[in-house]
Structures are given as C-alpha cells and as structure tokens.
Structure 1
Amino acid sequence: MNANTRALIAIIVINFVTIAGFGFMFPVFAIYGKAIDANATEIALSIASFSLGQLIASPLWGKISDRYGRRNVLVISLLVGAVLTALNVFAVTPWLLIFARFICGLASGSFSVAFAVAADISNAENRTRVMGMVGAGFSLGFILGPAIGGFAAGNDPGVDAFARVCIAGAAMMGFGGILTLFILPETRKRHEPSADATPVAVRSNLTLLRDPALAFPIILSLITSLALSKMESTFAIFADDVLHLPPSRIGLIFAVMGTIGAIVQFAGAGLLAKKLGERGMLMLALCFLTVGMFVVGSSTALPQAILGMCIIASGFSTVNPALSGLTSLAASADEQGSALGVMQSAASFGRVAGPALAGLIYDFAGPSAPFMLAGVVLALTLVSSFAVLRARLA
C-alpha cells in the first residue's frame, strides 16, 4: 500500500470518527436539554457553541498544519477532543453545556486539516473525486454517530444516558487519534525557499477572501452551512414535538441520511464532477437542498419527513465535495490548509448563526419555520449563484 493510499484511508477514517463522536450527541441533545431545564434556544446555542469554537480555531489549525505538517495537528486535535468530550458529562446546567461544547469546538481542528491532506495527495484532475471520498467518511459518521448515540441513550432521557453518549463519543475520537498516529504518513511537502517565490505562499487569511475565485466557494460555504444548521439543530426537537419520536428513531433517520450521503460522495462525486464539473455539481446540490427543506418543513408524518431528509442528504453529499474542490483548486499548494481552514471557518460561522437563529425562530414562529426559512435562503442562493456563474462564463 503506497503512502497516498494509506493517507486517503486514514483521513476517511479520521473524518468518520470525528463526526461520529460529535454526531453521537444529536439524538439526545433535545431530551437531555429539557432534563436540565434548557429551552429550545439554549439547546440550539449548545450546538452552535461547538461551531463557534471551530470558527475561531479552524483557520489557525489550517495555518499551523501548512507550517508544521498535517499529521501532528490531527493527532493532537483528536486526542484533546476525546478528553474534552468525556468531560461533557459534567455539563449539568444549560450554560455549562454551552461552554463545554465551545471548548470542544476549539479543539476540533481535524475537519479542515483532513481536507488539506486530501489536497496534498490529489491533483487538479482528481481533486473533487478525492474530496468526495474523504467526505464519505463524514457521511459515514452521520450513519453510525447519531444511530449509535441514539441506541446508547435508548429511551432514557436522564443524565446517565447523556453520560454514556459522551463516553462513547470520546472513545471514538480517541481511537481516531491513535489510528492517525500509527498509519497516517506526513503529506505536507516541504519546499525550499527560492528567489522567485510568489506572494501567494504568504497570503493572510483575510487576503485570501479578496481573491474572487476563493471568495465565491467560501461565501457559499457560509450560506449553505447557515441553512443546513437550521435543520440539524432543530430536527430532533421537531421530531419530538411534531412526530413524537424517541431518540433511537431520530438516530435512525440520521443514519438513513448518512447512508445516502456516503454512497453519493464515495461513488458519485467523481462521476458528477466529470460530467457536470464542480459548478454543475453545486447547482444540482442547491436544488436538492432547497426542495428537501420545504418537504421536511411541511411534514406532519414520518414518511414525508424521511423523504425530505433523504433529499437533503443527497444535496448535502454533493455540495461539500463541490465547494471543497473549488476552494482547493483556487488555492496554491502552500496555502491549502489556510484556504480550506477559512472555508471551514465560514461554514462554522453558519453553524453558529444558524442554530441560534433557528432556536429563536422555532420558539416564536413554530416548528416548521426554521426549515421553511432555510428553503427560502437556499432558493435565493441558487438563483444568485446561477447568475454569478453565468456572468463569469459570458
């Protein structure tokens, strides 16, 4: 097995265990939040606080990995994240839970760095295909993470159930850190300084945003994350209040989403990129996401909700490889970690604002409102993106 193959397998596993360790929390957040007297806004803020930590830390982790290498950053991030996730068992008040998730987000540097590894081991021709395969690990985490978290919690909404979920998530992340230490080769290539080095190699994170080719996917990452996080942060509450589902059933719905996402990303991203290009993939993804949000928001029974979540999963599994591919292709070899870190930071900002807004909207406008508003935002983004891309091609 050559170094690139080992690296690809490693980062697929890393993305899997990272999102699985985080996704364990989804099915139990709403019910545990109610058990500690948290309202919908505080539950949504607990989810948003993790992304706030990522927002602050992702560009820094990416830049550090550009300078010191990917492997060490990934190992440290996963092992520290495992310890902090286990300590979430002591979050027995709403504000302690919000703070605990924020600290976990600060330690979570593996998302952007894993995609930087994917950029290191790929070229322009297969970049999006490799990004899709790495993203499949993310989707697989959605399969087993919430599913196992739901089963670990069972139908018991108490503190003990939440503790079991925290320990299971910590164990998953710890396993990922140890695995990374032993099987991931360093992929960051060292370059000797030269007289003809271009300023691109030393661009700051803010300067990256002045490049239109990078700004476009980064802004879209923010918008799509904003809309998707409305769904992620309120679906468990929606399923409890409207569909009357226990945590185990909610976990199964996330598992169905993850299965679809993994299949599409692993087997379909490369084919779609070849047939449609990254821009065509992006338009298709936005169409699926828009329709899915409206279907879920209007659902009053389980079959329609599952259908809507499946449509969202199809769009989600297509939009991430497209945006990651566009970002990576627009960045130089010496700024892959920085550019992908900024993209992840933009997505994290969406995951901060999205849940916070969704919680308020849910409390004041009703269960369907966050999904309907997300659908409107995505529809406007689809029309605007089509106009921008058409103008560029003209």
Structure 2
Amino acid sequence: MFLSSVGFSIVIMSIWPYLQKIDPTADASFLGWVIATFSLGQMAASPLFGLWSNYRPRKEPLSISIFISVAANCLYAYVHLPPSHNKYYMLVARGLVGFGAGNVAVIRSYIAGATSLQERTSAMANTSACQALGFILGPEHRVDDSGRQCKNINFEEVSTDEVQVPQGNIDQVAVVATNVLFFVILFIFALFETIVTPLTMDMYAWTREQAVLYDGLILAALGVEAVIVFMGIKLVSKKIGERAILLGGLILVWVGFFILLPWGNQFPKIQWEDLHNNSIPNTTFGEIIITLWKSPREDHDEGPIGCPIEQGWCLYTPVIHLAQFITSAVLVGIGYPSCNVMSYTLYSKILGPKPQGVYMGWLTASGSAARILGPVFISQVYTVWGPRWAFSLVCGLVVLTITLLGVVYRRLIAFSVRHGGIQEQPS
C-alpha cells in the first residue's frame, strides 16, 4: 500500500507535462482519459485478484500484480520511443498500472483474515496510515508477506472457543449498503481533489504555478492530518465503536462542504478575454516604460488569471473566502479518513471468517468507480453551474448517505456478533 501510494503520487504530478512532450496532439480532455484509465484498470482487476486469492495462496496474485505494475511502469517510462501514437501507449500503460493496483483487494483480504476482531480496526488504520504516508513522504519501504494463514496478526495462541467458526449467512443487505457507503465516501473525496485547483485559481486569481504550489502544500498537510486521524481512530474506536466514527465522519464532511457554499456580496476577480484591435491607445512613452517595468515579460507567459468570463456564474456567484476553503479542507481532512477506514473495517467484520477476496474485490471496484465518476461529475457541474450548485448537490448526497447509514446502522455488526453471540463493542 505504501509503495503503491508512493508510485502513484510521483507519477500523477508528471503526467500532463510528459503527455504534452511525447505527443503534442494530446489535449486536456485526453488527459482526463489517461487519469481515469488507472481507476478503470483497478476496477476490472480487483474482483479477479480477489477471486484468485480465495482459491490460491495470496502470494500468487500479489506477485503477478507487482510484475504487471513493474512492466507497466517500464512501458510508461519509454512511451516516448515509438514514432507515433505515443499518447495511446501512455493510455495503455496507465491502464495496466491500475490493473496491477487491483491487488489492494488481496491486501485487505489478507488483513481481514490475519487479524482478530479486536485487532481489525487497528490493523486497518495502520494500513491506511502507511498509504497516506506514501502520498506525503515517498521513501522506500520493504514489504514482506509469506501468504500463510494465521488467526491473528500477532500470531498469538487462542483458545478452542475462539477458533470455532460461527455458522450462518452473510448479511447481504449490510454488504450492499457498505459498498454504497464506500462508493459515496471515495466519490466525495475524488471530486474534492479534482476541484481544489480550478476552485482556487478562479476564486483567488492564483496563477498555475501558485495553484500547484499552494494546493500541493494544502494536500500534503491533509495527508499529515490523515495520519494523525488514523492513529487516533485506533483509540477512539475502542470507546465508541466503528459505526459512531463513520457517522461522525460523514457529519464532518457535510459541514465541510456546507462551509464551502459561497455567501456575501464580494465577487471573484473576472478573467476577461484579451481585446485584440488595431486602435492605438492614448498613452505617453513614459507610461509605456513604467508599465513594462512593473509587468515583467515572464508574467505574461502565465496567462490570464481570475474566474473565466466563459463561466457565466462568475458574474453573480460570491467569492469563497480563503478562510472558508481552509476550514472546509480541515474538516474534510478529518471526516474522509475516518469514514474510509471505518467503512472497510466494518465491511471485513460483516463478511466474517469466510474467504473475503471476491467481496474485497467488489469493494475496491466500487471505490475505483467512484474515483472515475467523481471528477467527471464535479468538473461538469462546476463549469456549468458553479460552486453553489456543485457543493449543494454534494451536501444533499451526504445527507442521503447519512440517512442510509441510519437505516442500516443496526445491521452493520460483525458476523460473529450476529451468529456467534459474541458481545458487541459500544457504538
């Protein structure tokens, strides 16, 4: 998980300039397909690797997926060599990298099978923390997995009563509901990641360079915040339970997006189109020199700044103040990791002691679908209707998700609690 995050975070920053360099015919719309192909590949591979791990040692799908990832990254590194159609080679390379990343389902299945109920939340939180660190730090990390079956991650001896497997059917309603919850959680964060750069450039008249720098710092800070949240979850979940944390995280996400709604009478700076005509302005030579001195030539290469006039909502939508944006980012940065780790922790407990490869594959596939649809949704709604409509719809979606959680709240319990009579933890 750590190495996968490191590789993804390194490559994602270079895709656009690399694509422009290897194939000048590629435009921004094709870039969207290149990015989405990763999630498409992961969505296709996750159920397959999960099914494979149910019937064969887990080291087999893990080894094959790693080999595919290495080969795909090598292809990505050399897509500039073919004489033509380079952008399509990059498209294939990113799709194969995503296919190799489908091993996330196997990893989560292994953790679920190698931990007891008491250890599950802590182990899942540690895994998510490693994933978040990979996005921030990027150092090398050595992974070792023997693929052996064990009763818990610490290889402790357990009593005969604990080894007995309770009999019963998996609660399919809880399974479907958790997949929906996981989809919405990743959908919301994917659209938040997507909208950060255009939103800050439109609202605060940041240049492309400023947006990349400042937004990168903000996302890195959110990564650090996520690691702290993951560590805190291990303690808090023992006191209030996973379901309560999931509910609280969704509420924080709703508050975060509600704060992002534009209010007030101040409007963003408008990015007017350049006027091209043959008229000669009534300007003295001295004024021209002063203007050139105050506006160095390199500044013109950055392009116009502000909210584009082509987006009609820029003329009547109030600005989202920087304090609003930072506050929202902090709240989403707390709510998202809480919901993320709690959703698949609960999911693994609902599935029980049976092999979870296929089910974890479907969960990962639902997350991949969310990362495909989220950016498409927010980019279309934001461009046409603006942030007020976009974030209002997100708030409505979160309310529906909280309602769904309330309906299935009592069903989101561990398999052994439902069928084995084990005492449920507080939540």
> Residues 45 and 355 of structure 1 are in contact (CA less than 8 Å); yes or no, is this contact kept in structure 2?
no
How far off its partner does 1:119 sit?
1.2
Aligned partner letter, 1:261: A
TM-superposed CA distance for 1:343, in Å, is 1.0
State the match for 1:137 in structure 2.
Answer: 130
Match runs of 1:61-210 below 5 Å: 61-89=49-77, 90=79, 97-144=90-137, 179-180=142-143, 183-188=144-149
DSSP-derived class of the 1:109 partner: helix
Deviations 1:139-183, CA, capped at 9 Å, x for gaps? 2123236xxxxxxxxxxxxxxxxxxxxxxxxxx7xx66xx33xx3
Q: How does 1:168-317 map to 2 (within 5 A)?
A: 179-180=142-143, 183-188=144-149, 211-243=172-204, 244=206, 245-265=210-230, 267-296=231-260, 298=262, 300-317=320-337
Shift of 1:373: 3.0
Cα deviation for residue 366 of structure 1 reads 3.6
Cα distance change on mapping 1:224 and 1:199 into 2, 3 Å: same
In the alignment, is the contact (CA less than 8 A) between 1:132 and 1:269 conserved in 2? Answer: yes
Query: Could you tell me how far apart the structure 1 residues matched to 2:25 and 2:239 are?
Result: 51
Give 1 or 2: higher helix fraction.
Answer: 1
Per the TM alignment, residue 356 of structure 1 is displaced from its structure 2 partner at its CA by: 2.3
Deviations 1:303-327 (A, max 9, x none): 4433322211211111122111111
Q: Deviations over 1:317-374 (max 9, x none)?
A: 1112211111111113332222222111111111122122233224333466544433
The amino acid across from 1:360 in the alignment is Q
Partner residue, 1:326: 346
- Structure 1 pair 213–300 and aligned structure 2 pair: CA distance change class (3 A): closer
Q: What one-letter code is carried by the residue in structure 2 that aligns with 1:354? A: G
Report if the CA contact (8 A) 1:40-1:363 is conserved.
Answer: no
Q: Is the 8 A contact 2:41 2:102 kept in 1?
A: no
Q: Percent identity?
A: 26
TM-score, normalised with respect to structure 2: 0.68
What amino acid maps onto 2:242 in structure 1?
A: E
Question: Which residue, out of 404, 411, 414, partners 1:384?
Answer: 404
Contact 2:114 2:150 in 1 (8 A): no
TM-fit CA distance, 1:80? 2.5
Deviation at 1:57, TM superposition (A): 0.9
Alignment correspondent of 1:339: 359
Structure 1 runs not aligned, ≥5 long: 1-14, 146-171, 191-195, 201-207
Give the distance between the partners of 1:28 and 1:251, measured in 2 at CA: 13
The 1-side partners of 2:344 and 2:27 are apart by: 35
Report the Cα offset of residue 390 of structure 1: 6.3
State how far apart, in whole Å, the 1-side matches of 2:90 and 2:193 are: 18
Structure 2: segments with no counterpart, 5+ residues: 152-164, 263-318, 414-427
* CA pair 354-79 structure 1, distance change in 2 beyond 3 A: same
**Which stretch has the larger CA shift, 29-38 or 39-48?**
29-38
- In the alignment, residue 215 of structure 1 is paired with which amino acid? V
TM-score (norm 1): 0.73
| Contact 1:286/1:378 (<8 A) preserved | yes
> 2:303: which partner in 1?
none
Q: Secondary structure at the match of 1:69?
A: coil
Matched, 1:17 2:37: no
Aligned residues, how many?
A: 333
Q: How big is the shift at 1:70?
A: 2.5
Specify whether residues 376 and 246 from structure 1 end up closer, same or farther in structure 2 by C-alpha distance, changes over 3 A only. same
RMSD across aligned C-alpha pairs, in angstroms?
A: 3.3
Q: Which amino acid aligns with 1:225?
A: L
Partners of 1:281 and 1:318 within 8 A in 2: yes
Distance 1:140 1:37, change over 3 A: farther
- Cα distance in 2 for partners of 1:230, 1:119 equals 29
Instruction: Quote the offset at 1:58 in angstroms.
Output: 0.5
Q: Separation in 1 of the partners of 2:101 and 2:54?
A: 16
